[in-house]
Amino acid sequence: MLGQEVNEGLSGKDTYRVVMLGQEVNESLSGQDTYRVVMLGQKVNEGLFGQDTYRVVMLGQYVNESLSGQDTYRVVMLGQEINESLSG
């Protein structure tokens, strides 16, 4: 279900990347934190360019309130990768 919600408006490789982001983050999250991951995916999907990369990283850090170490790094890096491939 998480994958479906994040997936709205995406296709191809971008869909895969967002779903993978949700799945990897979800391994360490539950309840309200899962909802935050879904919101991150939807906001990334709005169509980002340029300085909005910073926005994605900040959203990643917001989601990461319940994560630490390697998990935090994964979320931020995946957020940046998604931002590079989305066009709106």
Please state the three-class secondary structure of 9-70 as a single string: CCCHHHHHHHHHHHHHHHCCCCCHHHHHHHHHHHHHCCCCCCCHHHHHHHHHHHHHHHCCCH
In the chain, % of residues over pLDDT 70: 0
Can you give the pLDDT at residue 3? 43
- pLDDT classification of 41: cutoffs 50, 70, 90: low
CB 28 within 8 A of CB 64: no
Confidence of residue 82 (pLDDT cuts 50, 70, 90): low
Mean pLDDT of the residues in the chain: 47
What pLDDT, on the 0 to 100 scale, is given for residue 87?
44
- At a CB cut-off of 8 Å and minimum separation 6, what does 27 contact? 71
